Amino acid sequence: MLLQALTSTISFPDFHTHYHRRSRLNGVMSVHRWRRENRRMTISASNVESSSLNAEKKRKVVEHICLLKAKPNLSEEEENNMLDYLYTSQYQMRGIVAVSLGRISNETVENYTHAVFMRFQRKEDVAKFYENPFYLKVLKEHVMPYCHVLTNVDYESEVEDDILPIFRKGEEFNYGVEFVHLIAFDESVSGAHVEDALLSLEKLTKEFPSLVVQSTQGSNFNLSSQDYTHAVVIRFRSSEAFEMFVGSTEYKDACSKTLT
């Protein structure tokens, strides 16, 4: 699904007539549970030394994804109000280091309409976030009146140990596309298969820095929502970069490991 990512930059790309007085960057949410038809395309990997990737200092972060199903009669004003309050909640609570949110642009299996992505520094920050009185008030007064389903996914991952990638700031994060890939591994799937599938996808994203700004992935530890076992969030440099990546044979091959 395409969703808008809020940053401090004042710009507004085309996004299914979506709104906002702040900037929002296109993003994509994809829910995968089965094999999709392959679209054949080949992209060339850039010349990246694997040793430099391995030597990179890392910092742990915790990613939070919230999927929403808005009521059919949601007005533009109500939608604006809901997303405004969700976005500005980062200024009322400690621990949130980055936020992306917006309306879903592509169809999903479960018919989700909106998505919220937040980054935290620690698991404890996520736990406090769920219990924060301000956030609970936002949900009660500005989200649940307009939505009838809310699903949360949380996972721990790592990013480059530098202020810009940690806080998703800088020129590279001013524009682009957010791709959220949710995975539901069957209980019968071996741990080795899961690890191999995730490593293949992680390796692929690192091979295409001309397309990918940042990628994180991990196991869902949210006990209240076990529909998805793992999640991947990839920030692309543009919608064209996203289309090239997901349409490539390399991505299809890596993705097939999560669907078999």
Report the alpha-carbon distance of residue 146 to residue 139 in Å, rounded: 10
- Which two three-digit tokens encode residue 203? 């390796």
Q: Which neighbouring-strand residues pair with 216?
A: 233
Q: pLDDT tens, 115-135? A: 899 999 999 999 999 999 999
Domain count, the chain: 1
Q: pLDDT tens, 36-85? A: 233 333 333 333 444 444 567 999 999 999 999 999 999 999 999 999 99
Mean pLDDT of the chain: 79
Report the alpha-carbon distance of residue 46 to residue 37 in Å, rounded: 26
The domain of 179 spans 5-259
Report the alpha-carbon distance of residue 78 to residue 146 in Å, rounded: 7
pLDDT level of residue 256 (50, 70, 90 thresholds): confident
Examine the pLDDT at 208 and tell me if it is beyond 50: yes
Q: pLDDT tens, 226-237? A: 888 999 999 999
SS3 category, 218: strand
- Looking up residue 75, the CATH number of its domain turns out to be 3.30.70.100
pLDDT in the model for residue 121: 96
Higher pLDDT, 148 or 9: 148
Q: Which residue stretches of 18-107 are H helix?
A: 50-55, 76-88
